[in-house]
Structure 1
Protein backbone atom coordinates (compact mmCIF):
# COMPACT_ATOMS: atom_id res chain seq x y z
CA UNK A 1 0.00 0.00 0.00
CA UNK A 2 1.37 3.39 -0.97
CA UNK A 3 1.97 5.96 1.71
CA UNK A 4 -0.44 8.84 1.56
CA UNK A 5 0.43 12.50 1.81
CA UNK A 6 -0.96 13.90 5.08
CA UNK A 7 -4.32 15.40 4.46
CA UNK A 8 -4.61 13.59 1.07
CA UNK A 9 -7.74 11.43 0.74
CA UNK A 10 -7.29 7.61 0.54
CA UNK A 11 -7.89 5.93 -2.86
CA UNK A 12 -11.17 4.14 -3.38
CA UNK A 13 -11.54 0.73 -1.71
CA UNK A 14 -11.42 -1.03 -5.09
CA UNK A 15 -8.06 0.53 -5.93
CA UNK A 16 -6.74 -0.39 -2.49
CA UNK A 17 -7.70 -4.06 -3.07
CA UNK A 18 -5.96 -4.10 -6.45
CA UNK A 19 -2.88 -2.51 -4.94
CA UNK A 20 -2.81 -5.15 -2.17
CA UNK A 21 -3.22 -7.99 -4.67
CA UNK A 22 -0.39 -6.62 -6.83
CA UNK A 23 1.83 -6.27 -3.78
CA UNK A 24 1.07 -9.88 -2.74
CA UNK A 25 1.81 -11.11 -6.29
CA UNK A 26 5.17 -9.37 -6.31
CA UNK A 27 6.01 -10.82 -2.91
CA UNK A 28 5.12 -14.35 -4.12
CA UNK A 29 7.31 -13.98 -7.20
CA UNK A 30 10.21 -12.71 -5.10
CA UNK A 31 9.77 -15.66 -2.72
CA UNK A 32 9.85 -18.11 -5.66
CA UNK A 33 13.05 -16.48 -6.95
CA UNK A 34 14.67 -16.80 -3.50
CA UNK A 35 13.64 -20.46 -3.27
CA UNK A 36 15.09 -21.17 -6.72
CA UNK A 37 18.36 -19.46 -5.82
CA UNK A 38 18.56 -21.42 -2.58
CA UNK A 39 18.01 -24.69 -4.44
CA UNK A 40 20.78 -23.84 -6.87
CA UNK A 41 23.14 -22.98 -4.02
CA UNK A 42 22.19 -26.18 -2.20
CA UNK A 43 22.78 -28.32 -5.27
CA UNK A 44 26.08 -26.61 -5.87
CA UNK A 45 27.08 -27.17 -2.25
CA UNK A 46 26.15 -30.83 -2.40
CA UNK A 47 28.06 -31.19 -5.66
CA UNK A 48 31.15 -29.57 -4.16
CA UNK A 49 30.83 -31.74 -1.06
CA UNK A 50 30.56 -34.89 -3.19
CA UNK A 51 33.60 -33.84 -5.19
CA UNK A 52 35.51 -33.23 -1.96
CA UNK A 53 34.43 -36.62 -0.53
CA UNK A 54 35.41 -38.37 -3.76
CA UNK A 55 38.82 -36.70 -3.64
CA UNK A 56 39.35 -37.80 -0.03
CA UNK A 57 38.32 -41.37 -0.84
CA UNK A 58 40.67 -41.40 -3.82
CA UNK A 59 43.55 -40.21 -1.66
CA UNK A 60 42.80 -42.87 0.95
CA UNK A 61 42.64 -45.61 -1.67
CA UNK A 62 45.87 -44.52 -3.30
CA UNK A 63 47.50 -44.23 0.10
CA UNK A 64 46.39 -47.72 1.09
CA UNK A 65 47.80 -49.32 -2.07
CA UNK A 66 51.45 -49.45 -1.15
CA UNK A 67 54.14 -50.59 -3.54
CA UNK A 68 56.11 -53.75 -2.71
CA UNK A 69 58.80 -53.22 -0.08
CA UNK A 70 62.43 -54.35 -0.24
CA UNK A 71 63.30 -57.19 2.08
CA UNK A 72 65.94 -57.41 4.78
CA UNK A 73 69.42 -58.76 4.30
CA UNK A 74 69.87 -62.46 5.02
CA UNK A 75 66.23 -63.27 4.27
CA UNK A 76 66.28 -63.70 0.49
CA UNK A 77 63.97 -66.73 0.82
CA UNK A 78 61.57 -64.72 3.06
CA UNK A 79 63.17 -66.67 5.93
CA UNK A 80 66.47 -66.57 7.79
CA UNK A 81 68.56 -69.76 7.50
CA UNK A 82 70.63 -70.75 10.54
CA UNK A 83 73.41 -73.35 10.56
CA UNK A 84 76.03 -74.63 12.99
CA UNK A 85 79.65 -75.66 12.65
CA UNK A 86 80.00 -77.84 15.74
CA UNK A 87 80.55 -74.98 18.16
CA UNK A 88 78.53 -71.92 17.10
CA UNK A 89 75.32 -71.05 15.28
CA UNK A 90 75.28 -68.40 12.56
CA UNK A 91 72.99 -67.06 9.85
CA UNK A 92 73.65 -67.84 6.22
CA UNK A 93 74.23 -64.45 4.55
CA UNK A 94 72.11 -63.46 1.55
CA UNK A 95 71.44 -60.28 -0.37
CA UNK A 96 68.29 -58.28 0.28
CA UNK A 97 65.35 -58.91 -2.01
CA UNK A 98 64.54 -55.92 -4.20
CA UNK A 99 61.09 -54.39 -3.90
CA UNK A 100 59.95 -55.70 -7.26
CA UNK A 101 61.72 -59.07 -7.06
CA UNK A 102 60.53 -62.50 -6.00
CA UNK A 103 62.24 -64.26 -3.08
CA UNK A 104 64.94 -66.81 -3.85
CA UNK A 105 64.20 -70.25 -2.41
CA UNK A 106 66.93 -71.89 -0.36
CA UNK A 107 68.88 -74.37 -2.44
CA UNK A 108 68.39 -77.51 -0.36
CA UNK A 109 70.39 -79.56 -2.88
CA UNK A 110 73.45 -77.92 -1.35
CA UNK A 111 72.41 -78.99 2.15
CA UNK A 112 72.56 -82.77 1.80
CA UNK A 113 74.66 -83.23 4.93
CA UNK A 114 71.97 -81.83 7.21
CA UNK A 115 68.28 -82.31 7.94
CA UNK A 116 66.50 -79.17 6.81
CA UNK A 117 63.78 -77.81 9.08
CA UNK A 118 61.60 -74.87 8.09
CA UNK A 119 59.14 -73.09 10.37
CA UNK A 120 56.51 -70.50 9.43
CA UNK A 121 55.40 -68.71 12.60
CA UNK A 122 53.54 -65.75 14.04
CA UNK A 123 54.91 -64.25 17.26
CA UNK A 124 51.38 -63.81 18.63
CA UNK A 125 50.44 -67.43 17.93
CA UNK A 126 50.20 -69.47 21.18
CA UNK A 127 50.68 -72.75 19.28
CA UNK A 128 53.92 -71.40 17.83
CA UNK A 129 55.00 -70.61 21.38
CA UNK A 130 54.10 -74.14 22.40
CA UNK A 131 56.26 -75.61 19.65
CA UNK A 132 59.12 -73.22 20.46
CA UNK A 133 59.04 -73.88 24.20
CA UNK A 134 58.90 -77.63 23.71
CA UNK A 135 61.58 -78.00 21.05
CA UNK A 136 63.93 -75.00 21.32
CA UNK A 137 66.59 -76.81 23.35
CA UNK A 138 66.67 -79.80 21.00
CA UNK A 139 66.74 -77.61 17.90
CA UNK A 140 69.58 -75.54 19.34
CA UNK A 141 71.53 -78.69 20.15
CA UNK A 142 71.07 -80.11 16.66
CA UNK A 143 71.97 -76.77 15.11
CA UNK A 144 75.13 -76.31 17.14
CA UNK A 145 76.31 -79.80 16.20
CA UNK A 146 75.70 -79.08 12.53
CA UNK A 147 73.07 -81.82 12.21
CA UNK A 148 70.30 -79.56 10.94
CA UNK A 149 69.66 -76.24 9.29
CA UNK A 150 66.74 -74.18 10.60
CA UNK A 151 64.93 -71.69 8.37
CA UNK A 152 62.49 -69.39 10.16
CA UNK A 153 59.80 -67.42 8.33
CA UNK A 154 58.12 -64.77 10.53
CA UNK A 155 54.68 -63.90 9.13
CA UNK A 156 51.68 -61.93 10.41
CA UNK A 157 48.29 -63.62 10.33
CA UNK A 158 47.01 -62.45 13.74
CA UNK A 159 47.12 -58.66 13.42
CA UNK A 160 43.39 -58.52 14.10
CA UNK A 161 43.99 -60.03 17.56
CA UNK A 162 45.99 -57.16 19.08
CA UNK A 163 43.52 -54.29 19.55
CA UNK A 164 44.56 -52.55 16.35
CA UNK A 165 48.28 -52.35 17.17
CA UNK A 166 49.23 -54.95 14.53
CA UNK A 167 51.51 -56.73 16.94
CA UNK A 168 52.09 -59.67 14.61
CA UNK A 169 53.46 -57.36 11.93
CA UNK A 170 55.48 -55.25 14.36
CA UNK A 171 57.10 -58.25 16.07
CA UNK A 172 57.89 -59.87 12.71
CA UNK A 173 59.38 -56.54 11.63
CA UNK A 174 61.55 -56.55 14.76
CA UNK A 175 62.81 -60.04 13.88
CA UNK A 176 63.54 -58.89 10.32
CA UNK A 177 65.46 -55.89 11.65
CA UNK A 178 67.66 -58.23 13.66
CA UNK A 179 68.17 -60.48 10.64
CA UNK A 180 69.20 -57.44 8.62
CA UNK A 181 71.67 -55.88 11.07
CA UNK A 182 72.76 -58.59 13.50
CA UNK A 183 71.64 -61.92 12.01
CA UNK A 184 73.64 -64.21 14.28
CA UNK A 185 71.45 -63.00 17.17
CA UNK A 186 68.24 -64.03 15.40
CA UNK A 187 67.57 -67.22 17.39
CA UNK A 188 68.12 -65.46 20.71
CA UNK A 189 65.61 -62.78 19.72
CA UNK A 190 63.23 -65.41 18.39
CA UNK A 191 63.27 -67.14 21.80
CA UNK A 192 62.88 -63.80 23.62
CA UNK A 193 59.82 -62.85 21.56
CA UNK A 194 58.12 -66.09 22.55
CA UNK A 195 59.23 -65.80 26.18
CA UNK A 196 57.50 -62.38 26.30
CA UNK A 197 54.58 -63.31 24.07
CA UNK A 198 51.45 -61.27 24.84
CA UNK A 199 48.04 -62.86 25.12
CA UNK A 200 45.83 -62.78 22.04
CA UNK A 201 43.32 -59.95 22.29
CA UNK A 202 45.76 -57.61 24.06
CA UNK A 203 47.75 -54.76 22.52
CA UNK A 204 51.07 -56.53 22.88
CA UNK A 205 54.45 -54.91 23.37
CA UNK A 206 55.03 -51.37 22.14
CA UNK A 207 57.80 -50.67 19.65
CA UNK A 208 59.93 -49.25 22.47
CA UNK A 209 59.37 -52.42 24.47
CA UNK A 210 60.38 -54.49 21.44
CA UNK A 211 63.59 -52.45 21.26
CA UNK A 212 64.32 -53.23 24.91
CA UNK A 213 63.53 -56.91 24.33
CA UNK A 214 66.00 -57.34 21.47
CA UNK A 215 68.67 -55.41 23.34
CA UNK A 216 68.20 -57.64 26.39
CA UNK A 217 68.54 -60.62 24.04
CA UNK A 218 72.03 -59.43 23.05
CA UNK A 219 71.47 -57.10 20.08
CA UNK A 220 73.98 -54.24 20.22
CA UNK A 221 73.66 -52.68 16.76
CA UNK A 222 71.97 -49.31 17.31
CA UNK A 223 70.43 -49.38 13.84
CA UNK A 224 68.08 -52.16 14.97
CA UNK A 225 66.25 -49.80 17.35
CA UNK A 226 65.53 -47.29 14.60
CA UNK A 227 64.49 -50.07 12.25
CA UNK A 228 61.97 -51.30 14.81
CA UNK A 229 60.46 -47.92 15.70
CA UNK A 230 60.32 -46.89 12.02
CA UNK A 231 58.79 -50.29 11.15
CA UNK A 232 61.18 -50.41 8.22
CA UNK A 233 60.23 -53.88 7.07
CA UNK A 234 56.50 -53.86 7.89
CA UNK A 235 55.65 -53.66 4.19
CA UNK A 236 57.90 -56.59 3.46
CA UNK A 237 56.27 -58.57 6.30
CA UNK A 238 52.89 -58.13 4.60
CA UNK A 239 54.30 -59.15 1.23
CA UNK A 240 56.03 -62.22 2.69
CA UNK A 241 52.84 -63.18 4.53
CA UNK A 242 50.80 -62.87 1.34
CA UNK A 243 53.28 -65.07 -0.47
CA UNK A 244 53.17 -67.72 2.26
CA UNK A 245 49.36 -67.76 2.30
CA UNK A 246 49.04 -67.77 -1.47
CA UNK A 247 51.84 -70.25 -2.18
CA UNK A 248 53.38 -72.24 -3.61
CA UNK A 249 55.80 -72.99 -0.78
CA UNK A 250 59.29 -73.83 -2.03
CA UNK A 251 61.01 -77.16 -1.32
CA UNK A 252 57.79 -78.92 -0.37
CA UNK A 253 54.64 -80.39 -1.87
CA UNK A 254 52.57 -78.39 0.63
CA UNK A 255 50.67 -75.81 -1.40
CA UNK A 256 50.58 -72.92 1.08
CA UNK A 257 50.54 -71.97 4.74
CA UNK A 258 47.07 -72.42 6.22
CA UNK A 259 47.98 -71.85 9.87
CA UNK A 260 50.88 -71.42 12.23
CA UNK A 261 53.14 -72.98 13.10
CA UNK A 262 53.74 -74.73 9.80
CA UNK A 263 56.73 -77.00 10.40
CA UNK A 264 58.48 -78.78 7.54
CA UNK A 265 61.21 -81.40 7.90
CA UNK A 266 62.93 -82.23 4.63
CA UNK A 267 59.90 -80.62 2.98
CA UNK A 268 57.41 -82.88 4.79
CA UNK A 269 54.90 -81.24 7.14
CA UNK A 270 54.96 -82.23 10.79
CA UNK A 271 51.41 -82.80 12.01
CA UNK A 272 52.13 -84.32 15.40
CA UNK A 273 51.66 -82.85 18.86
CA UNK A 274 53.33 -79.48 19.26
CA UNK A 275 54.03 -80.07 22.94
CA UNK A 276 55.64 -83.50 22.53
CA UNK A 277 59.40 -83.20 22.03
CA UNK A 278 59.81 -86.96 21.67
CA UNK A 279 57.22 -87.12 18.89
CA UNK A 280 58.91 -84.30 17.00
CA UNK A 281 62.34 -85.88 17.44
CA UNK A 282 61.01 -89.19 16.11
CA UNK A 283 59.55 -87.41 13.09
CA UNK A 284 62.86 -85.66 12.37
CA UNK A 285 64.73 -88.97 12.61
CA UNK A 286 62.17 -90.61 10.33
CA UNK A 287 62.59 -87.95 7.65
CA UNK A 288 66.38 -88.06 7.97
CA UNK A 289 66.34 -91.83 7.50
CA UNK A 290 63.98 -91.61 4.55
CA UNK A 291 66.24 -89.05 2.86
CA UNK A 292 69.31 -91.20 3.48
CA UNK A 293 67.55 -94.23 2.00
CA UNK A 294 66.52 -92.25 -1.07
CA UNK A 295 70.12 -91.09 -1.55
CA UNK A 296 71.39 -94.66 -1.26
CA UNK A 297 68.82 -95.96 -3.75
CA UNK A 298 69.64 -93.22 -6.26
CA UNK A 299 73.32 -94.07 -6.00
CA UNK A 300 72.90 -97.74 -6.75
Structure 2
Protein backbone atom coordinates (compact mmCIF):
# COMPACT_ATOMS: atom_id res chain seq x y z
CA UNK A 1 0.00 0.00 0.00
CA UNK A 2 2.81 2.38 0.81
CA UNK A 3 4.36 1.87 -2.59
CA UNK A 4 1.01 2.53 -4.27
CA UNK A 5 0.88 6.03 -2.72
CA UNK A 6 4.26 7.17 -4.11
CA UNK A 7 3.03 8.59 -7.47
CA UNK A 8 0.48 10.71 -5.66
CA UNK A 9 3.05 11.99 -3.25
CA UNK A 10 5.41 12.90 -6.13
CA UNK A 11 2.68 14.81 -7.89
CA UNK A 12 1.83 16.65 -4.71
CA UNK A 13 5.50 17.51 -4.17
CA UNK A 14 5.83 18.89 -7.70
CA UNK A 15 2.66 20.91 -7.24
CA UNK A 16 4.00 22.32 -4.03
CA UNK A 17 7.27 23.29 -5.70
CA UNK A 18 5.47 24.99 -8.55
CA UNK A 19 3.32 26.85 -6.06
CA UNK A 20 6.41 27.91 -4.14
CA UNK A 21 8.10 29.07 -7.37
CA UNK A 22 5.03 31.06 -8.34
CA UNK A 23 5.00 32.64 -4.91
CA UNK A 24 8.67 33.53 -5.17
CA UNK A 25 8.10 34.97 -8.66
CA UNK A 26 5.16 36.95 -7.34
CA UNK A 27 7.22 38.27 -4.46
CA UNK A 28 10.12 39.14 -6.79
CA UNK A 29 7.73 40.94 -9.14
CA UNK A 30 6.28 42.90 -6.26
CA UNK A 31 9.80 43.70 -4.99
CA UNK A 32 10.86 44.88 -8.44
CA UNK A 33 7.71 46.97 -8.73
CA UNK A 34 8.42 48.56 -5.35
CA UNK A 35 12.01 49.26 -6.39
CA UNK A 36 10.85 50.82 -9.67
CA UNK A 37 8.41 53.02 -7.77
CA UNK A 38 11.15 54.03 -5.36
CA UNK A 39 13.54 54.80 -8.22
CA UNK A 40 10.85 56.84 -9.94
CA UNK A 41 10.17 58.78 -6.76
CA UNK A 42 13.89 59.32 -6.17
CA UNK A 43 14.32 60.39 -9.80
CA UNK A 44 11.48 62.88 -9.45
CA UNK A 45 12.96 64.24 -6.24
CA UNK A 46 16.40 64.58 -7.83
CA UNK A 47 14.86 66.29 -10.86
CA UNK A 48 12.95 68.71 -8.66
CA UNK A 49 16.08 69.46 -6.61
CA UNK A 50 18.19 69.99 -9.76
CA UNK A 51 15.56 72.25 -11.30
CA UNK A 52 15.34 74.20 -8.06
CA UNK A 53 19.14 74.54 -7.88
CA UNK A 54 19.34 75.67 -11.50
CA UNK A 55 16.62 78.21 -10.82
CA UNK A 56 18.41 79.48 -7.72
CA UNK A 57 21.74 79.67 -9.58
CA UNK A 58 20.03 81.45 -12.47
CA UNK A 59 18.51 83.99 -10.13
CA UNK A 60 21.85 84.55 -8.38
CA UNK A 61 23.71 84.92 -11.69
CA UNK A 62 21.04 87.26 -13.05
CA UNK A 63 21.06 89.36 -9.91
CA UNK A 64 24.84 89.56 -9.82
CA UNK A 65 25.08 90.32 -13.53
CA UNK A 66 22.29 92.85 -13.30
CA UNK A 67 23.91 94.35 -10.23
CA UNK A 68 27.32 94.56 -11.93
CA UNK A 69 25.81 96.01 -15.10
CA UNK A 70 23.81 98.51 -13.11
CA UNK A 71 26.87 99.42 -11.05
CA UNK A 72 28.93 99.84 -14.22
CA UNK A 73 26.25 102.00 -15.81
CA UNK A 74 25.96 104.11 -12.67
CA UNK A 75 29.74 104.44 -12.47
CA UNK A 76 29.93 105.57 -16.10
CA UNK A 77 27.14 108.09 -15.59
CA UNK A 78 28.75 109.48 -12.45
CA UNK A 79 32.15 109.77 -14.11
CA UNK A 80 30.59 111.44 -17.15
CA UNK A 81 28.73 113.95 -14.98
CA UNK A 82 31.92 114.83 -13.12
CA UNK A 83 33.78 115.43 -16.37
CA UNK A 84 30.91 117.34 -18.01
CA UNK A 85 30.34 119.53 -14.96
CA UNK A 86 34.01 120.25 -14.29
CA UNK A 87 34.31 123.86 -13.19
CA UNK A 88 37.48 124.36 -15.25
CA UNK A 89 37.67 122.83 -18.71
CA UNK A 90 38.57 124.01 -22.20
CA UNK A 91 35.81 125.80 -24.08
CA UNK A 92 36.87 123.66 -27.05
CA UNK A 93 36.18 120.41 -25.18
CA UNK A 94 33.54 118.05 -26.53
CA UNK A 95 31.00 116.22 -24.36
CA UNK A 96 33.17 113.09 -24.43
CA UNK A 97 36.35 114.81 -23.29
CA UNK A 98 37.89 115.31 -26.71
CA UNK A 99 39.03 118.32 -28.72
CA UNK A 100 37.17 118.17 -32.04
CA UNK A 101 38.32 120.25 -34.99
CA UNK A 102 38.90 120.44 -38.72
CA UNK A 103 40.88 122.76 -40.96
CA UNK A 104 37.98 125.19 -40.43
CA UNK A 105 38.72 125.50 -36.72
CA UNK A 106 37.92 124.10 -33.30
CA UNK A 107 34.43 122.73 -32.83
CA UNK A 108 33.86 122.90 -36.57
CA UNK A 109 33.53 119.73 -38.62
CA UNK A 110 33.43 119.18 -42.36
CA UNK A 111 30.41 117.28 -43.63
CA UNK A 112 30.82 114.00 -45.50
CA UNK A 113 34.34 113.26 -44.26
CA UNK A 114 35.26 110.79 -41.50
CA UNK A 115 36.18 111.82 -37.98
CA UNK A 116 39.29 110.14 -36.61
CA UNK A 117 39.49 110.18 -32.82
CA UNK A 118 42.79 109.48 -31.08
CA UNK A 119 42.99 108.67 -27.36
CA UNK A 120 46.54 109.30 -26.24
CA UNK A 121 48.89 109.81 -23.32
CA UNK A 122 52.02 111.90 -24.00
CA UNK A 123 54.22 109.37 -22.19
CA UNK A 124 52.71 106.28 -23.87
CA UNK A 125 55.34 104.67 -26.16
CA UNK A 126 52.64 103.11 -28.35
CA UNK A 127 51.09 106.55 -28.81
CA UNK A 128 54.44 107.94 -29.86
CA UNK A 129 54.89 105.15 -32.38
CA UNK A 130 51.39 105.70 -33.77
CA UNK A 131 51.99 109.44 -34.07
CA UNK A 132 55.34 109.10 -35.80
CA UNK A 133 53.97 106.59 -38.33
CA UNK A 134 50.70 108.34 -39.13
CA UNK A 135 50.99 112.03 -38.25
CA UNK A 136 52.40 113.32 -41.56
CA UNK A 137 49.54 111.55 -43.35
CA UNK A 138 46.90 112.75 -40.88
CA UNK A 139 48.14 116.34 -41.11
CA UNK A 140 48.12 116.23 -44.92
CA UNK A 141 44.55 114.91 -44.93
CA UNK A 142 43.57 117.46 -42.28
CA UNK A 143 44.97 120.36 -44.29
CA UNK A 144 43.12 119.12 -47.38
CA UNK A 145 39.81 118.88 -45.55
CA UNK A 146 39.67 115.10 -46.00
CA UNK A 147 39.17 114.31 -42.29
CA UNK A 148 38.04 115.78 -38.99
CA UNK A 149 40.17 115.10 -35.92
CA UNK A 150 39.12 114.46 -32.33
CA UNK A 151 42.09 114.49 -29.94
CA UNK A 152 41.60 113.00 -26.45
CA UNK A 153 44.56 113.87 -24.18
CA UNK A 154 44.88 111.60 -21.13
CA UNK A 155 47.30 111.46 -18.24
CA UNK A 156 47.00 108.08 -16.55
CA UNK A 157 50.76 107.46 -16.89
CA UNK A 158 51.75 110.11 -14.36
CA UNK A 159 52.87 107.32 -12.06
CA UNK A 160 55.38 106.23 -14.73
CA UNK A 161 57.25 109.51 -14.44
CA UNK A 162 58.82 111.36 -11.52
CA UNK A 163 57.20 114.72 -12.25
CA UNK A 164 53.65 114.13 -13.59
CA UNK A 165 54.85 114.43 -17.17
CA UNK A 166 51.59 113.15 -18.67
CA UNK A 167 49.45 115.71 -16.82
CA UNK A 168 51.75 118.59 -17.64
CA UNK A 169 51.88 117.75 -21.34
CA UNK A 170 48.17 116.90 -21.69
CA UNK A 171 47.12 120.01 -19.80
CA UNK A 172 49.26 122.09 -22.16
CA UNK A 173 47.50 120.47 -25.14
CA UNK A 174 44.15 121.50 -23.70
CA UNK A 175 45.37 125.02 -22.93
CA UNK A 176 46.80 125.57 -26.41
CA UNK A 177 43.56 124.34 -28.00
CA UNK A 178 41.64 126.79 -25.84
CA UNK A 179 43.85 129.84 -26.40
CA UNK A 180 45.37 129.49 -29.89
CA UNK A 181 42.73 129.48 -32.61
CA UNK A 182 44.93 127.77 -35.21
CA UNK A 183 44.60 123.95 -34.75
CA UNK A 184 47.56 123.33 -37.06
CA UNK A 185 49.77 124.68 -34.26
CA UNK A 186 48.35 122.09 -31.88
CA UNK A 187 49.00 119.25 -34.34
CA UNK A 188 52.59 120.39 -34.81
CA UNK A 189 53.08 120.63 -31.04
CA UNK A 190 51.80 117.08 -30.54
CA UNK A 191 54.16 115.89 -33.28
CA UNK A 192 57.03 117.68 -31.55
CA UNK A 193 56.48 116.11 -28.15
CA UNK A 194 56.18 112.64 -29.72
CA UNK A 195 59.28 113.15 -31.85
CA UNK A 196 62.02 110.54 -31.65
CA UNK A 197 64.62 111.87 -29.25
CA UNK A 198 62.18 114.08 -27.37
CA UNK A 199 59.46 111.80 -26.02
CA UNK A 200 60.83 110.42 -22.74
CA UNK A 201 60.84 106.77 -21.72
CA UNK A 202 58.36 105.64 -19.12
CA UNK A 203 59.03 103.94 -15.80
CA UNK A 204 62.53 103.45 -14.41
CA UNK A 205 64.12 104.84 -17.59
CA UNK A 206 62.23 108.13 -17.34
CA UNK A 207 64.37 111.28 -17.34
CA UNK A 208 62.71 114.49 -16.24
CA UNK A 209 61.46 116.86 -18.93
CA UNK A 210 60.99 120.41 -17.73
CA UNK A 211 58.12 122.73 -18.60
CA UNK A 212 60.69 124.94 -20.30
CA UNK A 213 61.59 122.15 -22.73
CA UNK A 214 57.93 121.50 -23.48
CA UNK A 215 57.40 125.21 -23.98
CA UNK A 216 60.18 125.25 -26.56
CA UNK A 217 58.36 122.57 -28.53
CA UNK A 218 55.15 124.63 -28.41
CA UNK A 219 56.81 127.79 -29.68
CA UNK A 220 58.60 125.75 -32.34
CA UNK A 221 55.15 124.55 -33.48
CA UNK A 222 53.95 128.11 -33.98
CA UNK A 223 52.10 128.57 -30.69
CA UNK A 224 52.29 132.27 -29.67
CA UNK A 225 54.74 132.85 -26.83
CA UNK A 226 52.03 134.54 -24.77
CA UNK A 227 50.04 131.28 -24.92
CA UNK A 228 53.04 129.02 -24.40
CA UNK A 229 54.05 131.02 -21.30
CA UNK A 230 50.84 129.99 -19.53
CA UNK A 231 50.24 126.58 -21.08
CA UNK A 232 52.05 124.70 -18.31
CA UNK A 233 50.19 125.93 -15.25
CA UNK A 234 48.03 122.77 -15.32
CA UNK A 235 44.90 124.88 -15.62
CA UNK A 236 42.75 121.92 -16.67
CA UNK A 237 44.02 119.29 -14.24
CA UNK A 238 40.61 118.59 -12.69
CA UNK A 239 39.12 118.08 -16.13
CA UNK A 240 41.94 115.69 -17.06
CA UNK A 241 41.47 113.74 -13.85
CA UNK A 242 37.77 113.40 -14.64
CA UNK A 243 38.63 112.19 -18.16
CA UNK A 244 40.97 109.55 -16.75
CA UNK A 245 38.03 108.24 -14.70
CA UNK A 246 35.32 108.50 -17.36
CA UNK A 247 37.01 107.39 -20.58
CA UNK A 248 38.10 103.90 -19.39
CA UNK A 249 34.47 103.12 -18.47
CA UNK A 250 33.32 103.46 -22.09
CA UNK A 251 32.86 99.89 -23.30
CA UNK A 252 32.97 100.93 -26.95
CA UNK A 253 36.66 101.71 -26.36
CA UNK A 254 37.52 98.36 -24.77
CA UNK A 255 39.86 96.10 -26.65
CA UNK A 256 40.05 92.31 -26.55
CA UNK A 257 41.56 92.53 -23.05
CA UNK A 258 38.28 93.92 -21.75
CA UNK A 259 39.70 97.31 -20.88
CA UNK A 260 40.66 100.60 -22.52
CA UNK A 261 44.28 101.48 -23.27
CA UNK A 262 46.23 103.99 -25.31
CA UNK A 263 46.57 104.52 -28.15
CA UNK A 264 42.92 103.93 -29.02
CA UNK A 265 41.69 105.06 -32.42
CA UNK A 266 38.13 105.31 -33.66
CA UNK A 267 36.76 106.19 -37.08
CA UNK A 268 33.25 107.65 -37.10
CA UNK A 269 32.87 106.32 -33.56
CA UNK A 270 33.91 102.74 -34.33
CA UNK A 271 37.06 101.47 -32.67
CA UNK A 272 39.91 100.32 -34.93
CA UNK A 273 41.76 97.16 -33.93
CA UNK A 274 45.34 98.34 -34.37
CA UNK A 275 46.70 94.80 -33.96
CA UNK A 276 44.49 93.67 -36.87
CA UNK A 277 46.28 96.18 -39.09
CA UNK A 278 49.58 94.42 -38.45
CA UNK A 279 47.98 91.00 -38.87
CA UNK A 280 46.72 92.12 -42.28
CA UNK A 281 50.31 92.89 -43.27
CA UNK A 282 49.82 96.66 -43.26
CA UNK A 283 51.64 99.43 -41.46
CA UNK A 284 49.66 101.93 -39.40
CA UNK A 285 49.54 104.51 -42.16
CA UNK A 286 48.18 101.98 -44.64
CA UNK A 287 45.72 100.73 -42.06
CA UNK A 288 44.24 104.17 -41.44
CA UNK A 289 43.94 104.81 -45.18
CA UNK A 290 42.23 101.48 -45.68
CA UNK A 291 39.89 102.12 -42.75
CA UNK A 292 38.60 105.38 -44.23
CA UNK A 293 38.67 104.32 -47.86
CA UNK A 294 41.37 106.56 -49.31
CA UNK A 295 44.25 105.62 -51.59
CA UNK A 296 47.77 106.73 -50.81
CA UNK A 297 47.91 108.65 -54.09
CA UNK A 298 44.90 110.70 -52.90
CA UNK A 299 46.48 111.96 -49.66
CA UNK A 300 46.25 115.75 -49.56
CA UNK A 301 43.95 115.93 -52.61
CA UNK A 302 41.01 118.06 -51.51
CA UNK A 303 38.94 116.77 -54.43
CA UNK A 304 39.27 113.15 -53.26
CA UNK A 305 37.21 112.31 -50.19
CA UNK A 306 37.36 109.08 -48.18
CA UNK A 307 34.77 106.59 -49.39
CA UNK A 308 33.15 105.96 -45.99
CA UNK A 309 32.05 109.58 -45.66
CA UNK A 310 31.05 111.14 -42.38
CA UNK A 311 28.97 108.29 -40.97
CA UNK A 312 30.17 105.05 -42.57
CA UNK A 313 31.85 102.23 -40.68
CA UNK A 314 35.60 101.76 -41.21
CA UNK A 315 36.60 99.18 -43.81
CA UNK A 316 37.42 95.58 -42.93
CA UNK A 317 41.16 94.87 -42.83
CA UNK A 318 40.66 91.33 -44.11
CA UNK A 319 39.83 92.49 -47.64
CA UNK A 320 42.64 92.65 -50.19
CA UNK A 321 41.87 96.00 -51.80
CA UNK A 322 45.03 98.07 -52.22
CA UNK A 323 45.59 101.50 -50.68
CA UNK A 324 48.01 102.51 -53.44
What TM-score do the two structures reach when normalised by structure 1? 0.60
Partner Cα separation in structure 1 for residue 309 and residue 91 of structure 2? 30
How far the C-alpha of 1:292 sits from its partner, in A, is 8.0
Q: Which residue of 1 aligns with 2:106?
A: 91
Aligned to 2:169: 171
Q: Deviations over 1:74-123 (max 9, x none)?
A: 123322222136xxxx3336xxxxxxxxxxxxxxxx75411111110001
Is 1:236 the counterpart of 2:251 in the alignment?
no
- Equivalent residue, structure 2, for 1:75: 93
Residue 213 of structure 2 corresponds to 209
Q: Which consecutive residues of structure 2, in runs of 5 or more, have no partner in the other structure?
A: 1-84, 295-305, 314-324
- 1:141–1:186: structure 2 CA closer, same or farther, 3 Å change rule? same
8 Å contact from structure 1 (residues 124, 168) kept in 2: yes
**Deviation of the 1:162 alpha carbon:** 0.5
Report the Cα distance in structure 2 between the residues aligned to 1:292 and 1:182, rounded to whole angstroms: 26
Cα drift, residue 221 of structure 1: 4.4
Match of 2:288 in 1: 280
Shift of the 79–292 alpha-carbon distance from structure 1 to 2, 3 Å rule, reads: closer
> 3-state SS of the aligned residue for 2:199?
coil
1:181 touches 1:224 (CA, 8 Å); kept in 2? no
Q: How does 1:99-178 map to 2 (within 5 A)?
A: 112-163=111-162, 165-178=163-176
How far 1:135 sits from its partner (Å)? 0.8
Q: What whole-Å deviation, never above 9, does each CA across 1:154-200 have from its counterpart, x for those lacking one?
A: 0012111102x111111101111111111422111111111121111
Counterpart Cα distance in 2 of 1:143 and 1:208: 29
- Determine whether 1:245 maps to 2:260: no
Root-mean-square deviation (CA, aligned residues, Å) is 2.9
Contact persistence 2:117–2:151 (CA under 8 A): yes
Pick closer, same or farther for the CA change 1:226–1:144 going to 2, 3 Å: closer
1:263-285 Cα shifts (integer Å, max 9, x gaps): 00111211134753212211221
In the superposition, the TM-score normalised over structure 2's length comes to 0.56
Structure 1 Cα separation of the partners of residues 137 and 117 of structure 2? 15
Change (3 A) 1:211 1:115: same
Residues in 2 aligned to 1:155 and 1:139: alpha-carbon distance in whole angstroms: 20
